[in-house]
């Protein structure tokens, strides 16, 4: 029998919202947590892999509910940059390396609402089938759009070329057929997308309802990019499974969302990054209207404050990988920081949202996101207290150890710094406090 992994000592934050508590022994057997609490009497420590977490904090592995692995970032030095150089094979290998970088930052699960080709499906399966290590991946394919939606970037006579993130569907039948095509190729869910900024509604409620009906019949969930008020209301009434952004929703729209129990993934991290980096880099480089971004950010902060009162579940996601300034492995826990700094959430509430709450974004509710007996063994150990400073969850800089699906991740393995300037490369992780070596 394979050795068990046992974490001794440390402070346990189990993801359920229970107060942080002293840990004696967390026992992992196979890919599940076997027990939490006193060391079981039948265990002979000298036969197991034992890690001493004294003075450290044990948490569920982090989950980012909004990551894009396959948009083609980061650019790699020497790579051809013209669109004619775009090809799925190179992009898939890059996405695979990016997934490893995500895992090495303590993020053991990601939800990917949209990408190129079926790249994310391939990376998901490579991880699941043991070809490579990586986080759990729950992914959509290309976003279903109509003219005028986000990702409809080319003239109408070009449409959406194969390398696009969106796929133009010019009728309700075409939307339904695209659901069928993506279902055949193994996506976990369908991503629809309305207009970029929400100023006008591009998808009729009947369009959304047609997609939802076909997807649900095939056991696929539906998520929608919707910043606008009308589209958010329409999405709620059409029965989508979760809404991404919703920043222009009115109080009445939010009540419609709340009534149907639909979660929202505000994704304020992207806006915060545009505002912060935009001030540093200048709007030309970021190429987004910073003042508009500030208004949207304020709306999302209000949403964070109102969600608890309305009983709307918020998913914690960042949009990492959607732009060159959203690097993998860096900002996955920044949404938790925003919830605390601006949204009025406690650090414990933000941690629970990123763990137990975000299990929804992996369709693994009740299976991951908590350090409890019987759950899948996704666990991280931190050298700093995230309840005292929520930012220590970011960038993997304070990690002592990452366990995903019961396996210890070798944080020192391989150089994952491709596409990153030397000054930005993280220092390699300190060695583990092994009591006995694996």
Applying CB under 5 A, the span of 16-24, 161-169, 315-323, 331-339 interacting with Zn ion comes to 315-323
Least distance (Å) between residue 191 CB and Zn ion: 9
Least distance (Å) between residue 68 CB and Zn ion: 6
Q: Which is nearer to Zn ion, 7 or 326 (CB)?
A: 326
Q: Which is nearer to Zn ion, 319 or 405 (CB)?
A: 319
Q: Which is nearer to Zn ion, 244 or 249 (CB)?
A: 244
**Closest to 381 in 3D by CA, of 2, 8, 3:** 8
Distance, in Å, from the CA atom of 136 to the CA atom of 111, rounded to the nearest integer, reads 8
Q: Which position's Cβ is nearest Zn ion? A: 319
Least distance (Å) between residue 423 CB and Zn ion: 27
Q: Which is nearer to Zn ion, 151 or 378 (CB)?
A: 151
3-class DSSP state for residue 177?
Answer: helix
- Rule CB under 5 A: which of 91-130 touch Zn ion? none
Q: Which is nearer to Zn ion, 66 or 104 (CB)?
A: 66
Cis ω before 74 (30° cut-off from 0): yes
Least distance (Å) between residue 341 CB and Zn ion: 22
Distance, in Å, from the CA atom of 267 to the CA atom of 296, rounded to the nearest integer, reads 11
- Rule CB under 5 A: which of 232-291 touch Zn ion? none
- Rule CB under 5 A: which of 320-339 touch Zn ion? 322
Least distance (Å) between residue 84 CB and Zn ion: 26
Tell which one of 29, 120, 214, 319 touches Zn ion (CB under 5 A).
319
What sign has the CA pseudo-torsion 115, 117, 119, 122? positive
The answer to the question of residue 370 lying near Zn ion (CB under 5 A) is: no
Q: Residues 427, 13, 321, CA angle at the centre, nearest 5°?
A: 45
Strands (E), 188-332: 189-193, 221-226, 242-245, 264-265
Q: Which is nearer to Zn ion, 110 or 176 (CB)?
A: 110
Within its chain, how far is the Cα of 116 from the centroid? 17
Least distance (Å) between residue 194 CB and Zn ion: 13
Residue 54 CB-half CA count within 13 A: 5
Number of residues binding to Zn ion, judged by CB under 5 A:
2
State the residues that interact with Zn ion by CB under 5 A: 319, 322
């Amino acid at each position: 029998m394979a050795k068990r992994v046992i974490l001794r000592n440390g402070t346990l934050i189990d993801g359920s919202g229970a107060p942080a508590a002293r840990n004696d022994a967390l026992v992992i057997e196979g890919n599940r947590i076997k027990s939490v609490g006193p060391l079981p009497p039948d265990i002979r420590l000298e036969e197991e892999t034992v890690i001493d977490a004294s003075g450290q904090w044990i948490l569920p592995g982090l989950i980012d509910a909004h990551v894009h692995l396959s948009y083609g970032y980061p650019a790699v030095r020497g790579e051809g940059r013209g669109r004619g150089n775009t090809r799925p094979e190179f992009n898939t290998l890059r996405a695979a390396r990016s997934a490893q970088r995500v895992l090495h930052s303590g993020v053991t699960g990601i939800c990917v609402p949209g990408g190129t080709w079926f790249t994310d499906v391939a990376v998901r399966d490579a991880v699941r089938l043991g070809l490579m290590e990586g986080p759990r991946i729950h992914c959509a394919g290309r976003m279903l759009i109509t003219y005028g939606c986000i990702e409809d970037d080319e003239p109408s006579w070009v449409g959406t070329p194969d390398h696009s993130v969106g796929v133009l569907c010019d009728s309700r039948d075409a939307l339904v057929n695209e659901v069928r095509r993506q279902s055949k190729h193994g996506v976990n869910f369908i991503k629809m997308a309305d207009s970029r900024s929400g100023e006008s509604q591009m998808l009729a409620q009947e369009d959304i309802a047609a997609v939802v009906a076909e997807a649900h019949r095939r056991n696929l969930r539906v998520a929608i990019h919707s910043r606008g008020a009308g589209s958010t209301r329409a999405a709620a009434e059409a029965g989508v499974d979760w809404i991404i952004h919703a920043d222009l929703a009115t109080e009445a729209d939010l009540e419609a969302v709340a009534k149907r129990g639909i979660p929202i993934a505000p994704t304020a991290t992207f806006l915060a990054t545009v505002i912060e980096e935009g001030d540093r880099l200048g709007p030309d480089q970021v190429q987004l209207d910073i003042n508009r971004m500030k208004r949207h950010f304020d709306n999302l902060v209000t949403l964070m404050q109102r969600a608890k009162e309305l009983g709307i579940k918020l998913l914690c996601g960042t949009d990492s990988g959607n732009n060159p300034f959203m690097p993998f492995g860096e900002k996955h826990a920044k949404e938790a920081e925003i919830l605390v700094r601006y949204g009025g959430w406690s650090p414990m509430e933000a941690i629970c949202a990123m763990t137990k709450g975000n299990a929804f974004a992996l369709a693994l509710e009740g299976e991951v996101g908590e350090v409890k007996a019987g759950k899948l063994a996704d666990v991280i150990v931190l050298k700093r207290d995230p309840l005292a400073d929520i930012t220590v969850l970011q960038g993997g800089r304070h990690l002592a150890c990452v366990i995903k699906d019961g396996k210890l991740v070798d944080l020192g393995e391989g150089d994952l710094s491709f596409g990153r300037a030397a000054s930005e490369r993280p220092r390699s992780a300190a060695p583990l406090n092994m009591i006995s070596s694996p």
